[in-house]
Structure 1
């Protein structure tokens, strides 16, 4: 299966289990891999024969910046469901969401989740 990648997409959102996270917000870093057949697009050189990754970016951005969830798991699930609904060519989605500054006392680069979903 071929892949389209969106890596290191940064958004400001208000997701988290703690009230401070939902009030102050923070940066969320999203990586998304779409699995699909790019054979036709590789022959025709036409945008309509692939998935427009700018539109996928906008889909992710909408959910991260305009909605509020307590859990990254919920946010990720909603994003993947929307991508699969909007883009029929996409057969599977792998999504990671990281918080670089969660309210955890300690030293780390980021914490986050990774979800993978595919069409039945």
Structure 2
């Protein structure tokens, strides 16, 4: 399943979710923590929800937000890749109507020599076919 199949398809969008977490490989990151900014796109058919105006025909943004919060503020991971992976997999497992999820995890405060907005990772995961 290629990404092109998702162009012009329905999705839920969560942008700029901010959390204080303890992810990273450096001891000070694990001890002091830092801010993380996370974006999520979740692809699913929203046509029934659009017709019915009923929350039961979609996935609540707050359900996805809770997953992101639990991972971001949860047990320390060494890599942002692990944080993104946990968010994506948990989202797909808890919401079978979601066919794909994109997760972007950003660290705006990174000790690098230069001016940056953030450094981070972005992953795209698809629901496994049975």
Q: Helix, strand or coil: the match of 1:66?
A: coil
- Superposition RMSD in Å: 0.8
Deviation of 1:31 after TM superposition, in Å, equals: 0.4
Say yes or no: does 1:114 pair with 2:119. Answer: no
Say yes or no: does 1:38 pair with 2:50. Answer: no
Moved over 4 A (4+): none
Q: 2:27 is matched with which residue: 9, 12, 19?
A: 19
Q: 2:102 is matched with which residue: 94, 99, 102?
A: 94
Structure 2 spans left out of the alignment, 5+ residues: 1-8
Deviation of 1:88 after TM superposition, in Å, equals: 1.1
- The separation in 2 between residues aligned to 1:4 and 1:35, in whole angstroms, is 6
Q: 2:66 is matched with which residue: 58, 64, 78?
A: 58
Deviation of 1:66 after TM superposition, in Å, equals: 1.6
Aligned residue for 1:47?
A: 55
> How many residues are paired up?
120
Structure number with greater CO (CA < 8 Å, separation at least 6) is 1
- The separation in 2 between residues aligned to 1:104 and 1:52, in whole angstroms, is 37
Q: Deviations over 1:32-82 (max 9, x none)?
A: 000000011010110010000101101100010022100000111011010
Say yes or no: does 1:82 pair with 2:93. Answer: no
- The separation in 2 between residues aligned to 1:11 and 1:105, in whole angstroms, is 24
Aligned residue for 2:17?
A: 9
Structure 1 spans left out of the alignment, 5+ residues: none
**TM-score, scaled to structure 2:** 0.89
Aligned residue for 2:112?
A: 104
**TM-score, scaled to structure 1:** 0.97
